[in-house]
Structures are given as structure tokens and as C-alpha cells.
Amino acid sequence: MRKSLSKLEILKKKSEIDKVFKIGKSTSRRGLKLILAPNNLNRNRIIVIPIKHYGNAVERNSIRRRIKEIWRKKKTEFISGNDFIFLVYPGKVFDNKTLEKTILDICEEQGIY
């Protein structure tokens, strides 16, 4: 298994991200929000967006890497054909085990895990 996400698994274009924000369904837990939209592809795509006031650049990149690593390990268990946006809010500090449980709970609530 690859140690990183492929370019096809990362949501990058602004027009695609705006589309997910516009038509997607959202679910949230304290400190984390998932916006999910179908993408008519046979794979899932992800983007992690810590909001602007989430610590400094080191903290934003750290949470982004941690969520992507959890995603990489669990991606085979998700129903494919969706775009995921994870919004991370400041205030709640997650350890890796709690973060993984929160992500899986949100995804299960959306019916894709």
C-alpha cells in the first residue's frame, strides 16, 4: 500500500471544491465538520481544510497530515464515489485515537462507512 494519497485521491480544483460546498451534505462533531457530495467517479477524493484561525502553519499542516493518514489507512472501507471535505475548527485538541474515532463516527452517520 502506498504511504501517501495519489493525485487522483486529492480534491484540488476550486470549482470542484465549491461544488461540494454547494451541493454537499454536512455532519459535524465538536471541532470537525464533514461535507460530503457524490462525484460520479469510482473513487473517493478528499481535502482537509483547517480554518484560518487554527493555530499557526505548523499546527494546520500537522492536523492535515494526521487526518490524511487516518484516511489513507481506512480508505478501502468507505463506499466509493464521493468527495469529502473535512473542516477543522480550533479549540478541540485531538489525540490520534480520538481523531480517528471522530472521523469514523461522522462517516458512519453519513452512511458511507
pLDDT of residue 1: 58
**For residue 21, is pLDDT > 90?**
yes
pLDDT band at 17 (very low <50, low <70, confident <90, very high): very high
Q: For the CA atoms of the chain, what is the radius of gyration? A: 13
pLDDT in tens, 55-97: 889 999 999 999 999 999 998 899 999 999 999 998 777 789 9
The predicted structure's pLDDT at residue 4: 79
**Helix (H) / strand (E) containing 63:** helix 57-74
Amino acid, res. 15: S
Phi, psi of 81 (to 5 degrees): 100, 30
The angle formed by the CA atoms of residues 59, 61 and 64, to the nearest 5 degrees, is: 110
* pTM of the complete model beyond 0.85: yes
- pLDDT 10s digits, 30-59: 889 999 999 989 999 999 999 988 888 999
Q: How confident is the model at residue 2 (pLDDT cuts 50, 70, 90)?
A: low
Q: Decide: helix, strand or coil at residue 83.
A: strand
Domains and CATH numbers, the chain: 7-110 (3.30.230.10)
pLDDT at 53: 87
